[in-house]
Structure 1
Amino acid sequence: MSSNEFYPGNPAHAARSTAETPEPMGDDTLLLVWDAPNIDMGLGAILGARPTAAHRPRFDAIGRWVLGRAGELAHHTGVRIAAEATVFTNVAPNGTDAIRPWVEALRNVGFAVFAKPKLTEDTDVDPDMVAHIRHRHAEGVLRGVIVASADGQNFRELLTELADEGIPVTILGFHEHTSWAVNSEIFTFVDLEEIPGVFREPLPRISLDNLPATGAWLQPFRPLSMLLSDK
């Protein structure tokens, strides 16, 4: 296996039960976990609308970027580093037909997908992402981790532990929503739009720092109705 091979797991086990743990990697690994619901929410907040194809991330570009990071890590450590990437997503009731082409496209690129039914508003994939990171760490193969999410509350404790052990931690997201990582002294932050080719068109980014003279609408980060589930 080359030092920057993009390897999401054993394809022979792609349809394993969700109750089973992921196939052991065996090689030193740079791990990317992608929080699809959270990234979509952040992207929608920037766009002020549901993302279209022009503003959906291109996962082939993300994959090439991860391979490059794995190669850099291999160069610095002097050991072979495999790249593993998994997208974690929820599947809404009666939403399988809509999401299936996207899931198949991800798998064809080389990403593993962890899909979880969205049974309630509180059915999130965050615990599964944390469990997967901990699993790879327990195997002793984790040499770097990239988390694509703006949700620091669920990841910061674990990622801080890893950084304290000397494992490089990178947060991938949008600087508007990830100030906890942008200002961190122990994490590396990469804005998603900095990855070459990740978007077909530039994002229409407006913040309090670059308001037009005529003003701008800043959309909510989540629906107001979600307050009902916070009780």
Structure 2
Amino acid sequence: MSNVHEFTHYYGDAPVDYQLPPNLLLVWDAPNLDMGLGAILGGRPTAAYRPRFDAIGRWLVHRAIELSETSGEHIEPEATVFTNVQAGGADVMRPWVEALRNVGFAVFAKPKTEHDSDVDPDMIAHIKRRHGEGVLRGVIVASADGQNFRETLMELVAEGIPATVIGFHEHASWAVAHEDITFIDLEEIPGVFREPLPRISLDSLPEEGAWLQPFRPLSALLAHR
């Protein structure tokens, strides 16, 4: 039985047939990870604290190789980044998006037109699309807390599809403690950050004390009135 699945997509009036191999899918929630990283740093990340996507890409390739060896079938890595583009922000983001694509990441970009125009539903839809196509052999969600993907990941785990959350242990306690989901702190991936993150927790407070920044602005409360 072939491990390759055939699909037909339509571009204009012409159908285009292509084949997708079994894959290990990484979906990267850029807005949420930026928020979580900013909370750890206490401000906007500088270049030293921006994740290196070439390191993430190499890590994903090795994970796909390991999964291939375990399963006995060839599994391809698929790396995707989901992001919002603020009004007037295209020129600022263009070099970053092009750099991602040059590394080998696909990018889904969505205009940030409203408070609730997040990319979470698009990430979940992409995971379910690959699952529906029958090619999903593992899924990795990169999100500071991963809460919005919990139900989807649990459904996949129940079907025997391994699920991993990449995030920050300060924010993703549910995933850290979960028996069926693998949690990996982003800083644990080799080479992702040029400098160690200045992480502060209640277990390792300096004698002079430390500020613990909010995870979200107070204005976010207005969306839940």
Normalised by the length of structure 2, the TM-score is 0.91
Unaligned runs of at least 5 residues, structure 2: 1-8
Aligned ranges 1:82-93 → 2 under 5 Å: 82-93=76-87
Displacement after TM superposition at 1:121 (Å) = 1.0
What is the CA deviation profile of residues 174-225 of structure 1, one whole-angstrom value per residue up to 9, with x for unaligned ones?
0000001000001000000001100000000001111111100000001111
Whether 1:221 aligns to 2:201 is no
Cross-structure match for 2:6: none
Q: CA separation of 1:187/1:25 partners in 2, compared to 1, >3 Å: closer, same or farther?
A: farther
Match of 1:38 among 27, 32, 36: 32
Cross-structure match for 2:5: none
Unaligned runs of at least 5 residues, structure 1: 1-12, 18-22
Whether 1:62 aligns to 2:56 is yes
Q: Is the 8 A contact 1:25 1:141 kept in 2?
A: no
Q: Is the 8 A contact 1:24 1:139 kept in 2?
A: no
Aligned ranges 1:8-47 → 2 under 5 Å: 26-47=20-41
Q: Give the percent of matched residue pairs that are identical in Structure 1 and Structure 2.
A: 73
| Aligned-partner Cα distance in 2 for 1:86–1:125 | 12
Aligned ranges 1:127-166 → 2 under 5 Å: 127-166=121-160
Aligned residue for 1:144, secondary structure, equals: strand
Q: Is the 8 A contact 1:31 1:146 kept in 2?
A: yes
Match of 1:104 among 93, 98, 103: 98
Cross-structure match for 2:3: none
Aligned residue for 2:169, secondary structure, equals: coil
The letter for the 1-side match of 2:141 is V
The letter for the 2-side match of 1:36 is A
Aligned residue for 2:156, secondary structure, equals: helix
The letter for the 1-side match of 2:124 is V
Larger radius of gyration: 2
| Aligned-partner Cα distance in 2 for 1:45–1:207 | 12
Aligned residue for 2:118, secondary structure, equals: coil
Cross-structure match for 2:107: 113
Q: CA separation of 1:145/1:165 partners in 2, compared to 1, >3 Å: closer, same or farther?
A: same
Displacement after TM superposition at 1:25 (Å) = 5.6
Displacement after TM superposition at 1:226 (Å) = 1.5
Matched residue pairs, number?
212
Q: Which has the higher strand share?
A: 2
The letter for the 1-side match of 2:72 is G
Displacement after TM superposition at 1:26 (Å) = 1.4
| Aligned-partner Cα distance in 2 for 1:223–1:47 | 15
